[in-house]
Amino acid sequence: MSTAYFCFHEHFSHATGDDHPEHALRITAIENALKQSGLWDKLTICESGPAKRSDILRAHSPGYVEQLDMIQPQHGRIYVDEDTPMSPGSLEAAYYSAGAAVEAVDAVLNGQFRNAFVATRPPGHHAEHKRSMGFCFFNNIAVAALRAAEAHHLQRIAILDFDAHQGNGTIDILQNDVRFLLCSTFQHPFYPYSHYESNKYNNLVNGYLSAGAGSRDFRDAVLNCWAEPLRRFAPELIIVSAGFDAHYEDPMAELCLVDEDYRWIAQWISHVTDSRNTPWLALLEGGYDLNALGRSANEFIGVMLEQGHGD
């Protein structure tokens, strides 16, 4: 068994502009870090294709998907919300991003790999059932989770989201569907200022972090908030919304995690998944300081490889 890295060149055609934080060099930074550390050569690199419309439509309304087709510009750039630019290649990139998530789900569930990291771009966890938001068009994580539930007939899929921002889109799409347990840690109060509180939904576990929170607060939130619900849920698959923007060097949030925290969370997930041999995959969400993103993803993926090679 080994670890797969799913990627696609088409994300380069999602041209957000030189001054936008969510740009193509984010993926380059991760891949350069993996090459410098020597981990790249240990990964199985999988170039993935676009998602089928039927996979997207499990998570998004047909009218929303048609609307994206209609508004895509022929040249230049439009904004689908105040933060989210769309260029002539953005929709193609969004289909590839969701497609990579779908292929990774199929691969880990078919036993081809122990685990997989997916270089999703554009990211997904802010995209709602009928709305683009926060750099996201299609909710890659919900597309992946619904693929696992409906094409592979899984009954219990856990989603772990440690991005600095709450994954409002994932909750919008999967709220109160007991096939899914949604566990997250995020800065609060903070963007996207949604009001998804744990006690109002029967499948939602929130670990709130105050501005300035660091390693200890993050680790305590995971251990105190996620561990017991996750143990009781006994997931058949874990999908991680892996956002690296809670790092202290990241300009997009006010949390203070360090590189080692991303190694720690990967080790924690490895431990959880070792006990039942649970397949798992991680999808890239945020992470906007190129150096911190590269180092943090390298730490995280290094642990995935250790687990993959340990089997």
- The residues annotated with a catalytic role in the active site are 126
Residue nearer to Zn ion on the CB measure, 99 or 286: 286
Side chain identity at residue 236, one-letter code: E
279 binds Zn ion (CB under 5 A): no
Q: Which of 22, 161, 163, 217 binds Zn ion (CB under 5 A)?
A: 163
Q: For Zn ion, which residue has the nearest CB?
A: 286
Residue nearer to Zn ion on the CB measure, 113 or 262: 262
Residues 230-249 interacting with Zn ion (rule: CB under 5 A): 243, 245
Part in contact with Zn ion (CB under 5 A); list of ranges 100-108, 156-164, 166-174, 226-234: 156-164
Residue nearer to Zn ion on the CB measure, 40 or 190: 190
User: Does residue 123 have a cis peptide bond before it, meaning omega lies within 30 degrees of 0?
Assistant: no
Residue nearer to Zn ion on the CB measure, 83 or 217: 83
Q: CB-side exposure of 21: number of CA atoms within 13 Å?
A: 16
Size of the site for Zn ion (CB under 5 A): 6
Which helix (H) or strand (E) covers residue 61, if one does?
none
Burial of 212 (0-12, 13-18, 19+ CB in 10 A): exposed
Residues 6+ apart with CB under 8 A from 116: 3, 4, 5, 6, 46, 104, 107, 108, 281, 282, 304
The phi and psi torsions of 239 (rounded to 5 degrees) equal -120, 130
165 binds Zn ion (CB under 5 A): yes
Part in contact with Zn ion (CB under 5 A); list of ranges 45-53, 79-87, 94-102, 163-171: 163-171
Q: How far is the CB of 188 from Zn ion (least distance, A)?
A: 13
147 binds Zn ion (CB under 5 A): no
Q: How far is the CB of 110 from Zn ion (least distance, A)?
A: 30
Residue nearer to Zn ion on the CB measure, 4 or 293: 293
Helix, strand, coil percentages for the chain (3-state, nearest 5): 45, 20, 40
The answer to whether residues 179 and 150 touch, using CB atoms and an 8 Å cutoff, is: no
For binding to Zn ion (CB under 5 A), which residues are involved?
163-165, 243, 245, 286
